[in-house]
Amino acid sequence: MLVLVANLGSTSFKYRLFEMTDDGAIDDIQNVRCLARGAVERIGDAQSKCTVAIGDWSDEKSLAVPDHGVAVQACLDQLTDPQHGVIREATEVAAIGFKAVHGGRLSGVFVVDDALLDAMAEMNAAAPAHNPPYIAAMNTLRTRFPDLPLVAALETDFHRTIPAARREYAIPRSWADQFHVRKWGFHGASHRYIAYRSAEILGRQDARVISCHLGGSSSITAIRSRESVLTTMGMTPQTGLPQNNRVGDFDPFALPLILQRTGLSLDQALQTLASEGGLLGLSGGHSGDVRDLEEASDNGDAQAQLALDVFVEEIRRHLGGALVALGGADAIVFTGGIGENGVQIRDRVCAGLADLGIVADSASNASIKQRVNDLGEASFHAGNSRTQLWVIPTNEEVIVARQTAAALKHS
């Protein structure tokens, strides 16, 4: 079975083409082969950039791509290229799988239909940067490719196993029941991959693992027996850890004061929190990128240092909650762009935790890139650490590919 896994933005279409058996289990993450990857950027511009990589061959071209339907056609044209393509006809693709975000009352993996799109639209206010582009693109693709199944794997699905006591807000019951206001959690495909892969590495299906997905968007999930039991993001992807430019946890009762003093509307204040907050806001507008902040801090920028300090302290605070929820951890895994590359962040997060059985080997941490296996994985715990420390690159796309194949099988 061939599945095209799509990662959508409002003006982008990134994809990978996977080959797998259609009877493989969702946790069968090894027997999936990536045949090609590519992207269409600047959709809607007069000239869009289309890139593709198939084996040792790569190609880049510019052409007019007015919408996501044309973007998919452009990628299919590349995949069926007579000289370099990996498929003869576009009909060989069984489905397109999407790492969709928020379905509110619907959480799981669904063949895209009107009911799913309606449920996603109900949550537009909770995921304004994610849901509307996905809904628009899915509608375009359903019209342009009516015989090509579309499958949405919602990020909230992995967190359905979290106990109710860790999912509910202390709000009027009617708000939770009528408007689905609860802690849904996100980054589900990433944390699911870490759950499955770390179980393989540890040789234990019942392992207690803390998955630290740290990047432009960050969250921490406590995992027991490959199931989520606690996560840091709540009702929306805006919550939990400070993000690149999104606020993270924030007291809503500060909003009336901000509106009164600034004259901003509620929508304007929320947009500011979603685009000028996080590490960008903490650094005084310098940058939301940890690499930039570390460079600025080394040059004496106090605000950049403050942003890094807050980020580390928030990771450690939520790490403590995950340790309590699990009663300890067999492994802590760092993934995502910062998790995989942030040597200083990993060192600081793990510092001073020997009494909790967590001891990092700083030399091993610094030499991760020289010691990784074929999947980019390596450990950096000290010999006397009861908890293993790992860097494991995530692979959300392979999870979505497996989920898509399973959905087709049972549809």
295 labelled binding-site residue: no
337 labelled binding-site residue: yes
369 labelled binding-site residue: no
Q: Are strands 388-391 and 150-153 parallel, antiparallel or unpaired?
A: unpaired
183 labelled binding-site residue: no
313 labelled binding-site residue: no
291 labelled binding-site residue: yes
Question: Residue 55 phi/psi, 5° resolution?
Answer: 60, -125
Q: Maximum Cα–Cα distance for the chain, whole Å?
A: 63
194 labelled binding-site residue: no
Q: Which helix (H) or strand (E) holds 407?
A: helix 396-410
DSSP notation for 245-300:
SS--S--GGGHHHHHHHH---HHHHHHHHHHS-HHHHHTTSS-S-HHHHHHHHHTT
Cβ 5 vs Cβ 400: under 8 Å: yes
365 labelled binding-site residue: no
Distances (CA, A) of 178 to 174, 175, 376: 6, 5, 44
Contacts for 236-241: CB closer than 8 Å, 24+ residues apart: 236/102, 236/126, 236/127, 237/101, 237/102, 237/127, 237/129, 237/130, 237/186, 238/273, 238/274, 240/318, 241/214, 241/311, 241/314, 241/315, 241/318
113 labelled binding-site residue: no
89 labelled binding-site residue: no
Question: Residue 104 phi/psi, 5° resolution?
Answer: 55, -110
60 labelled binding-site residue: no
Residues contributing to the annotated binding site for ATP: 14, 289-291, 337-341
Q: Known binding site for Mg(2+): residues?
A: 7, 396
Residue ranges for the known binding site are 7, 14, 289-291, 337-341, 396
